[in-house]
């Protein structure tokens, strides 16, 4: 004889938990099971020996969506494939499950005459999609289909299903399966078991309510014949946001326990929206209050590290690679190097260094991974091999091995998609590899002693005496229902009336949710408090729940629902809030004032950077200019304490200057003839492309085409003008991008000069290219605050080239009579010099500035070096920015290097202006 299971079907796990408690205390018996729809499906599959089919639904569904021509989703699918696929799949399941035995594969059989164009078009396209799927259905419907077609003789266990109409609401397919299970069991239904399910409905007595809470339980969402007086069994409290809600609820729970004899935590309930932020806030607040919770969802979400790495790796292989994608891959915890090394590599990329150089003692796996990130793909076969190599090199260690395991399965799926293809569909691959949050799989703790936690979308799992409803804001209690993107309410009504399809409208869903909310309130015996957050998690204002309007109609003397709310930030209202503990008033205390004072460290700050032998590391011209503008900015850079932000790539001034410098360096080389104009025009674009590949691969993308052309045009114009300068001066190029070193009053200095020129009369010129116009450099030179080129001259006078291999350069530098400095401004092709050159009179745009262009700057730099050498750090004054910009002609960019600089700026004028 086959065993029999009496299955009591309930809407959710909370209802199942409540009914099991009732059964355990009132009617324990064998062969009885309480569960939800998914649990019934699993029991039925086991009873009928149904083996789940391997459908590969996701891949085949996406393929079918793309293959149906001129469907209503076609245009949207190209823009947002994942979102559109989810909507279409939901619509397909809705329509199929609403039919008697599955939708026909011919729209002619559906008799769509008389239905408006929009719903008819949508149904016809869904039918065409089903034809493309060749009978394949979503997994849930496929499982029901298998059970409906299973032979009754194959059942090893009979299942009799008990359920109430609308509790839960079922589709036509679900109803058909229940009918089959009951028919195959041949068991007469037991009214007592159906009555047990009915006891969960908690229908209130029809009598006149005696309290305000009873008025809610009996008459909410109905037009009341008469109103009831408002007493202290119900209250509404306006709070700032969900964080304050959690704190207020914890305080009220403590006060309830203190004021009410015999009350235990389990008698207090919390009704929460189904959102992560409420679970987190309530857990924190009640843990701090020492109150245990029972039934709180504690499931946390973790990053999908494996798919995150693979998703960005696909961007890395599609050249040009975005810097962000490279940085994300490099800093992934799954990389074959340490987190610290990954952070250094990622920061180097975000700083513009795309070379991905291996760090010292890098392992073979690390070098292979860096090579994979450098290379790109244009063929599917090379990409497939790279994907397999990539996931094979991922190192998840013991803690993260599950991430690697899951991403390897996805890698196999991507390689299968690439097999036999001639082109790479990057968007499809990235869609398949898209990361999703991973659940920790933790279940709520339903301890008997804790405060009872209910969730908005679930039934109450045990009754309580006092209840606090959190998040009583617009769109909740009940949750708002909305039209499908495929079928609006009018469409559903037309299909239901014309075709006889069992389709639930948003109004039907709202009716069910209101009924559940009333059942939740019916599970409260004595008191309920609704808290209304006035602002959401982003700080935007929000309105109370729409149910407040219905509540206001129940009570006498209430003009509108808003008048029911007692505001937390209104003293009079606070005194009226029941169970609200209030702390004694305290005088306000101002926040601690930040004191900005000059600092005496008592040690040589220059000695913070030394080499292995303990010698001072050299300062650069840019470092000394930073020191001139801001000692604090110089110190922060010296100790690597500047903020290292990430932002999307863009062709900023520094990057464009770097590209311009590299092209000019390649065009004008030492020991080579000066190129003719035709050669310059022909070489600029390929040289620029090489520079972009090294310093800014993102500029090779199609969207930067206009910027590339504009930059190439500007460089060509500057290069031709610079060629004329060199030819007119009859100058010899002695070195380009030459590293120089020397000392400034005993302090080692070094820097890289853009180009060194020798003139026929024996004089030398140190030239620095600047991608700007003369108007930005001329004022500081005129006022004596220019230091960069002068420091190069100092290096030549006190040292020379770092490399001793270029003996010809060394000899020429030693024989030089004098050294002049020149800034060549590439934007307007102007040359700004500090010394008169005879030949320069014939050069357009050559300007000689009288006086010592560096006198004031060098005076300040020497003064600053003396201060920091003695351990004295003077902070910036409010007037420094104006002084350097207006009086010195120097743009004080150093003041923007860190938010600490303005934070620790002293009021007053610049010290130099005193």
Is residue 769 within 8 A of residue 666, CB to CB? The reply is no
| Cross-strand partners of 473 | 544
Is residue 753 within 8 A of residue 664, CB to CB? The reply is no
536 vs 371: CA distance, rounded Å? 46
The answer, yes or no, to whether residue 36 has pLDDT greater than 80, is yes
Of 81, 101, 99, 79, residue with least CA distance to 89: 81
Quick check: helix, strand or coil at residue 253? helix
Residue 768: exposed, middle, or buried by beta-carbon count in 10 A (0-12, 13-18, 19+)? buried
DSSP H stretches of helix in 616-676:
621-629, 631-638, 653-667
Of 816, 820, 831, 824, residue with least CA distance to 853: 820
The answer, yes or no, to whether residue 106 has pLDDT greater than 70, is no
| Residue with tokens 């010129």, as numbered in its chain | 765
At 816 the pLDDT is 63
Report the pLDDT averaged over residues 86-111: 75
Report the pLDDT averaged over residues 885-907: 93
At 818 the pLDDT is 78
| Portion of the chain with pLDDT greater than 90, in percent | 61
What is the maximum span of the chain, computed from C-alpha positions, in angstroms?
Answer: 118
Is residue 121 within 8 A of residue 112, CB to CB? The reply is no
The residue count for the chain: 914
Strand order of the sheet with strand 32-35? 32-35, 3-9, 157-162
The beta-carbon contacts of 700-707 under 8 Å, at least 24 apart in sequence, are 700/319, 700/320, 701/320, 704/651, 707/651
The answer, yes or no, to whether residue 107 has pLDDT greater than 60, is no
Is residue 670 within 8 A of residue 733, CB to CB? The reply is yes
| Cross-strand partners of 724 | none
Is residue 131 within 8 A of residue 535, CB to CB? The reply is no
At 907 the pLDDT is 92
Of 783, 885, 859, residue with least CA distance to 627: 859
The answer, yes or no, to whether residue 914 has pLDDT greater than 60, is no
Which is more confidently placed, 663 or 800?
Answer: 663
List pLDDT tens digits, range 367-426: 999 999 999 999 999 999 999 999 999 997 888 888 999 899 999 999 998 998 999 999
Structure tokens at 238: 């306006």
Is residue 766 within 8 A of residue 821, CB to CB? The reply is yes
| Residue with tokens 């650069």, as numbered in its chain | 620
- Which pTM does this prediction carry? 0.72
Of 251, 242, 235, residue with least CA distance to 288: 251
Report the pLDDT averaged over residues 145-162: 90
At 586 the pLDDT is 84
Report the pLDDT averaged over residues 281-309: 90
The whole-chain average pLDDT of the chain stands at 90
Sign of the torsion formed by the C-alpha atoms of 406, 409, 415 and 418: negative
110 vs 726: CA distance, rounded Å? 84
List pLDDT tens digits, range 459-486: 999 999 999 999 999 999 999 887 788 9
Is residue 767 within 8 A of residue 758, CB to CB? The reply is no
List pLDDT tens digits, range 754-770: 999 988 888 889 999 99
pLDDT band, very low/low/confident/very high, at 801 (cuts 50, 70, 90): confident
357 vs 280: CA distance, rounded Å? 42
pLDDT band, very low/low/confident/very high, at 224 (cuts 50, 70, 90): confident
CA angle 363–368–372, rounded 5-degree value: 150
């Amino acid at each position: 004889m086959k065993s029999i299971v009496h299955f009591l079907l309930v809407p959710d796990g909370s209802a199942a938990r409540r009914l099991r408690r009732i059964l355990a205390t009132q009617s324990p018996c064998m062969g009885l099971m309480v569960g939800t729809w998914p649990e019934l499906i699993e029991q039925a599959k086991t009873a009928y020996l149904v083996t789940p089919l391997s459908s590969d639904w996701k891949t085949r569904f996406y393929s079918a969506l793309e293959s149906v021509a001129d469907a209503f989703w076609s245009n949207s699918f190209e823009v947002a494939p994942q979102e559109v696929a989810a909507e279409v799949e939901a619509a397909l399941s809705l329509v199929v499950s609403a039919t008697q035995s599955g939708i026909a594969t011919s729209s002619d059989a559906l008799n769509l005459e008389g239905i408006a164009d929009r719903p008819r078009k949508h149904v016809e396209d869904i039918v065409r999609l089903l034809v493309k799927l060749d009978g394949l259905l979503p997994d849930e419907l496929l499982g029901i289909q298998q059970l409906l077609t299973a032979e009754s003789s194959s059942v090893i266990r009979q299942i009799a299903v008990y359920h109430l109409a609308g509790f839960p609401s079922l589709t036509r397919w679900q109803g058909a399966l229940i009918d089959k299970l009951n028919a195959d069991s041949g068991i007469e239904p037991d009214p007592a078991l159906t009555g047990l399910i009915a006891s969960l409905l908690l229908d209130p007595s029809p009598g006149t309510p005696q309290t305000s809470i009873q008025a809610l339980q009996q008459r909410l969402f109905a037009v009341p014949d008469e109103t009831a007086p408002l007493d202290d069994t119900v209250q509404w409290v306006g709070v700032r946001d969900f964080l304050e809600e959690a704190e207020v609820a914890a305080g009220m729970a403590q006060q309830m326990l203190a004021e009410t004899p015999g009350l235990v935590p389990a008698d207090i309930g919390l009704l929460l929206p189904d959102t992560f932020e409420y679970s987190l806030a309530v857990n924190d607040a009640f843990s701090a209050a020492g109150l245990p919770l029972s039934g709180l969802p504690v499931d946390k979400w973790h990053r999908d590290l494996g798919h995150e790495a693979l998703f960005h790796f696909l961007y890395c292989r599609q050249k040009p690679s975005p810097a962000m994608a490279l940085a994300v891959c490099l800093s992934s915890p799954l990389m074959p190097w340490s987190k610290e090394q990954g952070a250094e590599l990622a920061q180097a990329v975000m700083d513009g260094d795309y070379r991905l150089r291996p760090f010292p003692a890098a392992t073979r796996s690390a070098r292979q991974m860096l090579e994979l990130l450098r290379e790109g793909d244009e063929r599917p076969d090379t990409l497939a091999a790279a994907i397999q190599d990539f996931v094979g090199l991922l190192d998840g260690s013991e803690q993260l091995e599950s991430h690697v395991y899951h991403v390897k399965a996805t890698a196999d799926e991507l390689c299968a998609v690439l097999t036999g293809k001639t082109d790479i569909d990057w968007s499809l691959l990235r869609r398949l590899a898209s990361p999703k949050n991973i659940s920790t799989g933790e279940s709520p703790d339903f301890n008997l002693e804790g405060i009872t936690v209910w969730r908005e979308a679930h039934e109450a799992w045990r009754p309580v005496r006092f209840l606090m409803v959190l998040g009583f804001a617009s769109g909740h209690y009940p949750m708002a229902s909305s039209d499908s993107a495929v079928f609006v309410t009018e469409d559903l009504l037309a299909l239901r009336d014309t075709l006889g399809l069992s389709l639930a409208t948003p109004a039907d869903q709202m009716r069910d949710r209101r009924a559940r909310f009333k059942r939740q309130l019916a599970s409260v015996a004595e008191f309920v408090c609704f808290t209304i957050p006035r602002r959401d998690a982003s700080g935007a204002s929000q309105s109370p729940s729409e149910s407040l309007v219905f509540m206001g109609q129940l009570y006498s003397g209430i003009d509108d629902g808003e008048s029911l709310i007692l505001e937390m930030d209104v003293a009079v209202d606070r005194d009226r809030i029941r169970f609200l503990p209030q702390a004694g008033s305290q005088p306000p205390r101002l926040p601690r004032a930040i004191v900005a004072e000059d600092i005496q460290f008592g040690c040589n700050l220059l000695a913070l950077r030394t080499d292995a032998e303990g010698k001072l590391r050299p300062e650069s011209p840019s470092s000394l200019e930073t020191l001139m503008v801001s000692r604090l900015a110089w110190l922060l850079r010296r100790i690597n304490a500047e903020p290292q932000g990430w932002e999307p790539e863009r062709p900023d001034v520094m990057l464009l200057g770097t590209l311009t410098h590299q092209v000019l360096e390649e065009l004008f080389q030492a020991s080579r003839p000066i190129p003719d104009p035709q050669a310059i025009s022909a070489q600029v674009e390929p040289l620029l492309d090489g520079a972009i590949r090294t310093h800014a691969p993102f500029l090779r993308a199609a969207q930067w085409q206009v910027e590339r052309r504009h930059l190439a045009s500007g460089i060509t114009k500057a290069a031709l003008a610079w060629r004329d300068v060199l030819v007119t001066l009859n100058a010899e190029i002695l070195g380009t991008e030459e590293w120089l070193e020397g000392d400034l009053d005993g302090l080692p200095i070094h820097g890289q000069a853009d180009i060194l020129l020798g003139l026929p009369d024996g004089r030398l010129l140190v030239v620095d290219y600047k991608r700007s116009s003369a108007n930005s450099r001329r004022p500081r030179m005129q006022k004596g605050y220019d230091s960069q080129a002068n420091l190069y001259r100092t290096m030549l006078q006190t040292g020379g080239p770092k490399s001793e291999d270029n003996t010809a350069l060394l000899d020429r530098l030693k024989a030089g009579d004098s050294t002049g400095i020149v800034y060549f401004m590439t934007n307007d092709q102007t040359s700004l010099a500090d010394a008169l050159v005879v030949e320069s009179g014939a050069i357009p745009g050559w300007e000689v500035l009288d006086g010592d262009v560096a006198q004031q700057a060098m005076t300040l730099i020497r003064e600053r070096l003396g201060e920091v050498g003695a351990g004295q750090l003077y902070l910036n004054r409010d007037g420094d920015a104006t002084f350097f910009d207006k009086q010195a002609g120097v743009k004080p960019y150093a003041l923007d290097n860190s938010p600490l600089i303005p934070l620790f700026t002293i009021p007053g004028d610049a010290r130099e202006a005193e």
